[in-house]
Structure 1
Amino acid sequence: MGIDIHNLNLLAHGKDLGVSYERTIAIGRQALFIEDFELEQHRQLRRLPALSAAPASGPRYFEPLMKEWLAAGVADSVDASPYENAPLIHDMNLPWPAVSEARGRYDAVLDFGCLEHVFNFPTAWRNCVDLCKVGGHVFHSLPANNLSGHGFYQFSPELFFNLYQPKNGFELRGLWFAMKADRLHWWKVANPMDVKRRVNLCNSHEVYMMVLAKKLREPGELPAPQQSDYAQDEWLKAPASGPARTSGGSRKALVQQLVKLGLIDSVRAMRERLRVIRQSGLSLPAADYERVDVHQLIGAKG
């Protein structure tokens, strides 16, 4: 659990959008996983003062960065054990105690690489929401693709587009993919409920999903979400993945001929190899994904 350069840029973008970090809590005490040159580049880009000197040994934690660069007055954290000296101890598999003073106390709740490690995700997510005050913001940075084995889960944007809706008491202010191999760009993800089809991803790079949501009111009890193409009656009138495809006679004849010749498996294997090569780059397919130049997005204005 920690803050890498993408998470730092997300925090900076949040500040530009008016997010308050006055009272911030991290799910897990966040260490900094940012190279010195990246910190310096970010500092110059944002025209920030130099950070306090890092400790000579051991991990660098997030509190100085939050206070000196993002104007946090309080930078708390919660963990299941005291091994990293988090001030609050709680197992996120369990509901947050109703009498806790921490409920509804924080302007910003940071889930940077935590909830994928918590088996009871619905409870852990609700804990994040309950810690946030009305008008505050919840941040997520979670595995989305090619990170199988990192935690219990990888997450689909569909989940957070569904959870963070006005009818549930939230405003979704942004949802992006970020690739570990490309620190200069994000990819804005299309909402399946807007494009009326599933937004899928198959590529060859580690992909993280970053989410920023504002809490508009206390949500109360929420029904279990339904995937959008199952929940919208009008969508059921047409295939969820787009216009129906008609199988042409010539294609069918070609497939049958390849089967007779014993070549169909070889052709399918070649098609799969070509698909992998085509998807090994750092671009994601339009129009479901829109590339964002991060330095242009967060650079100091004026």
Structure 2
Amino acid sequence: MGLDIHGLKLLLLARRRGVRLGRVLTFGRIELALSPDRAAQMMRAEGIDLAHIQPLLTDPGPVWFAEPVFKSLGAAEVISLDASGYQNASVVHDMNQPIGPGMREQFDTVFDGGSIEHVFNFPVAIRNCMEFLKEGGSLFIHTAANNCMGHGFYQFSPELFYRVFSDANGFEVQRLILHGSGPYGSWYDVADPAKIRSRVELISFMPTQMLLHATRRRTVQIFSQTPQQSDYVEEWSKTGQPPSRAPLPAGDASPGFLRRNFPRVAGALQALRTAWRFYTTQSLLNRRFFTRSRD
């Protein structure tokens, strides 16, 4: 994905809230996935000096790397890391392998524009991303959610990110956003399953992606306790009321007359009822799970 309109928008919103990029590490050599003119328009609206991206505005492309954009947003330095040197990344390192001590707590910002889903050893890769950061630093991830099967090794759930970027690991989720693929996909803030005591599930017609902004609040040993799915943790503890779950479609409730005399009609009605239940409980219409963003 690189740095597209959604990723840039998230960075601009973070900047508006006082986040300073400082020393930046990008996971992969980040390409612009929007035109330099559009990027300039978005930054100009925020009163940002465009001197750093002027060379991009006269570059015919078709490939533009995003370092000048990060510099325009206030980055003091931009270091890129990749498993290969094919795009001239600053550091060559396979994220399937742990990083060394010299790379830990060296960066104020880590930005992943769509690499994490392509790394087989996800627990090591995500821990690396977390360990790169200094205390107070920000991690931005833009990755695959629904209907992206085959794009990479994985597509991810909100539950995973909320459990990984938890206080137990010294992190806090600032925003977790779901949006439809493409530049005009609407944003939805995603609820933490542990807080609403329900699995946050989604069946969507179109591909969707997630944007994460998490901050490192304190330095602790990451994954000293293995993250567990929140509803199972609650069930195991046997305290309070059991967690609720998105209801499964009920069995065939067609009237007996229809089933006996018009079986095809009864089957069609049942299919419609099933689809409606799924659509209203496991779609973006579920406001308990997904809140339309005003940003």
- The TM-score bracket by the shorter chain reads 0.7 to 0.9
Give 5+ residue unaligned stretches, structure 2. Answer: none
TM-score (norm 2): 0.86
Instruction: Give the corresponding residue for 1:299.
Output: none
Match in the other structure for 1:24: 24
Return the alpha-carbon distance in structure 1 between the equivalents of residues 91 and 257 of structure 2: 65
Question: Secondary structure, in 3 states, of the residue corresponding to 1:7?
Answer: helix
| Amino acid aligned to 1:83 | Y
> Cα gap change, 1:182/1:57 in structure 2, threshold over 3 Å: closer, same or farther?
closer
Please, which of 86, 91, 109 is the counterpart of residue 88 of structure 1?
Answer: 91
RMSD: 2.9
3-state DSSP class of the match of 1:137?
Answer: strand
| Corresponding residue of 2:67 | 63
Matched residue SS, 1:39: helix
Q: What secondary structure, in the 3-state scheme, does the structure 2 residue paired with 1:129 have?
A: helix
1:119: how far off? 0.4
Identity of aligned pairs, percent?
A: 33
Once the two structures are superposed, the pairs formed by residues 276-287 of structure 1 within 5 Å of their partners are: 284-287=285-288
Q: Give, in angstroms, the shift of residue 40 of structure 1.
A: 4.0
Cα separation, partners in 2 of 1:259 and 1:84, compared to 1, 3 Å: farther
Q: Kindly tell me: are residues 243 and 118 of structure 1, through their superposed partners in 2, closer, same or farther at Cα, counting changes over 3 Å?
A: closer
**Closer, same or farther: CA 52–37 of 1 in aligned 2, 3 Å:** closer
The structure with higher relative contact order (CA 8 Å, sep 6+) is 1
Alignment correspondent of 1:5: 5
What's 1:75 paired with?
78
Are residues 49 and 245 of structure 1, via their aligned partners in 2, closer, same or farther at CA, if it must alter by over 3 Å?
Answer: closer
Which residue is 2:44 aligned to? Answer: 44
Q: Secondary structure at the match of 1:140?
A: strand
For residues 15 and 65 of structure 1, the distance between their equivalents in structure 2, rounded to whole angstroms, comes to 13
**Contact 2:198-2:245 within 8 A present in 1 as well:** yes
Q: Any unmatched runs of 5+ in structure 1?
A: 295-302
Q: Is the 8 A contact 1:178 1:185 kept in 2?
A: yes
Q: Distance in 1 between matches of 2:49 and 2:179?
A: 27
How many pairs are equivalent? 285
In structure 2, give the amino acid aligned to 1:72. A
What is the TM-score of this pair, normalised by structure 1? 0.84
Distance 1:141 1:235, change over 3 A: farther
Q: Distance in 1 between the 2:246 and 2:86 partners?
A: 50
Report matched runs for 1:65-144 at 5 Å.
65-68=69-72, 70-98=73-101, 100=102, 102-144=103-145
> 201-210 or 230-239: which moved more?
230-239
Question: How many Å apart are 1:290 and its aligned residue?
Answer: 1.0
Corresponding residue for 2:176?
175
Mark the CA change 1:178 to 1:138 in structure 2 (over 3 Å): closer, same or farther: same
Post-superposition Cα deviations, 1:173-207, rounded to whole Å, max 9, x if no partner, equal 11111222463731111111111111111111221
